[in-house]
Structures are given as structure tokens and as C-alpha cells.
Amino acid sequence: MSRLILWVIGRPSGHNDRGLLYTLVDDKGVLYDLRDEAFAGLEKLIEAGKLPSGMEMFIDIMDAWKENGTDILFRKAPHLLIVSALEESAAPMQDCIIALSTFELYARSRGIATIWNGLATLTISQLVPSLQKRLGIPEDHTIGYAMGFGIPAIRYERTINRGAPKVNRVR
Ligand SMILES: Cc1cc2nc3c(=O)[nH]c(=O)nc-3n(C[C@H](O)[C@H](O)[C@H](O)COP(=O)(O)O)c2cc1C
């Protein structure tokens, strides 16, 4: 794992600020505790009617968890990597996405599955802010994204044909 992160820290950053923090949860038990905290925080928010508008999907996510333990929030990924950047960096979001995209490619080349986790990102950065503190992510950091990863449960025989990309070639 530390080799994966070493690979990622060589990536460029805006203004060469290198203000990234890699928050790693590589212990499944710790991640499951975190997941419990996340769901508890979301439940409070929903019950208090304080879920921001546009985030109603979290009601269904909560119901699925409570009814049969279906984990839509973390997709049962056993590990999580969150990349955050000093708010005052020149390009905090771009730096985080470059780092995680590189991590994703390298992980996949080593047979490790990844998931860009927008729902966990929203939960940590906006809906249940106590999680940011619990994770030890400094307040002056912008959370770029959370990525779940682990040994894949499924092996795909082929990829999906997504058609041709739209290219705007200027002549
Ligand atoms: C920025 C971003 C955020 C995503 N967030 C989630 C998420 O919160 N939960 C989830 O299950 N999948 C999430 N995905 C996965 C996409 O839904 C998935 O990549 C897409 O459906 C294509 O499927 P494939 O990656 O298996 O080809 C996210 C993907 C991206 C790029």
C-alpha cells in the first residue's frame, strides 16, 4: 500500500504546492466503525429533516442499510483512501483528482479494484462533518474525493463498449 502512495506523490500539483494529505483507512474493522458512524450521522440528519435539498437519495440509502444491511454508501469496499488538499493551494481539487486518478490506474494494474465514491465524499465533507475530524483531516483542507478499494469480488471477462468519444478537432 505504501508503495502505491509513493507512486502517487510523484504527480504534479498546481504551483508545485504539494499540499496533499492521503488519509488511508486500510483496516476493515476501522472502516466498518466509520461506516456505522456515517449511517448514524445520516440517520440523525434525516430524522431532524435537515437533509439538504437535492440529497433525498440518502433516504433510500439509509432505508436499504436499515432494512437489510445493503451498503450503498461504501459499496462494501474494505479500504478507503481520501485525498484532501490545503484550501489555500493553487489548485486543490485538481491536485486531488490527479493523485486519485493515478492511484486508480496503478491499483488496477496491480489487480486491485477501485470505486470513486461520491456518496462517501458528500457524507464526509458536507453531511456528517464530525467524520472529517474523526478521520484526522485538518479543517483547513478541502476534501478532494474518497476512493474505495480492495481485492475485486467479481472478475469481468470483458469491458463495456461505450461508443466513440466526442472529439472536437479544431482545424
Ligand atoms: C466522480 C465519480 C463519483 C462516483 N460516485 C459513486 C458512488 O458514490 N457510488 C457508486 O456506487 N458509484 C460511484 N461512481 C461509479 C460510477 O457510477 C461508475 O464509474 C459508472 O457507473 C461506470 O461504471 P464502471 O466504472 O463500472 O464502468 C462514481 C464515479 C465517479 C467518476
Report how far apart, in Å, the C-alpha atoms of 92 and of each of 38, 55, 63 are: 25, 24, 34
* Residues ≥6 apart with Cβ < 8 Å to 46: 58, 59, 62
pLDDT digits (tens, 9 = 90+) for 84-143: 999 999 999 999 999 999 999 999 999 999 999 999 999 999 999 999 999 999 999 999
Residue 119 Cα, ligand 1 centroid: separation in angstroms? 10
Domains of the chain: 2-7+24-150 (3.40.109.10)
Per-residue pLDDT band at 1 (split at 50, 70, 90): low
Is pLDDT of 5 > 80? no
Cell of 88: 489555500
Residue 115 Cα, ligand 1 centroid: separation in angstroms? 6
* 94, 108, 116: residue to mutate for ligand 1 pocket, most atoms within 8 A of CB: 116
Distance of CA 82 to the CA centre of its chain: 6
Residue 114 Cα, ligand 1 centroid: separation in angstroms? 10
Percent of the chain with pLDDT over 90: 87
Q: Are 20 and 145 in contact (CB under 8 A)?
A: no
* 117, 121, 126, 156: residue to mutate for ligand 1 pocket, most atoms within 8 A of CB: 117
Lowest mean pLDDT among 1-5, 41-45, 99-103, 163-167: 1-5
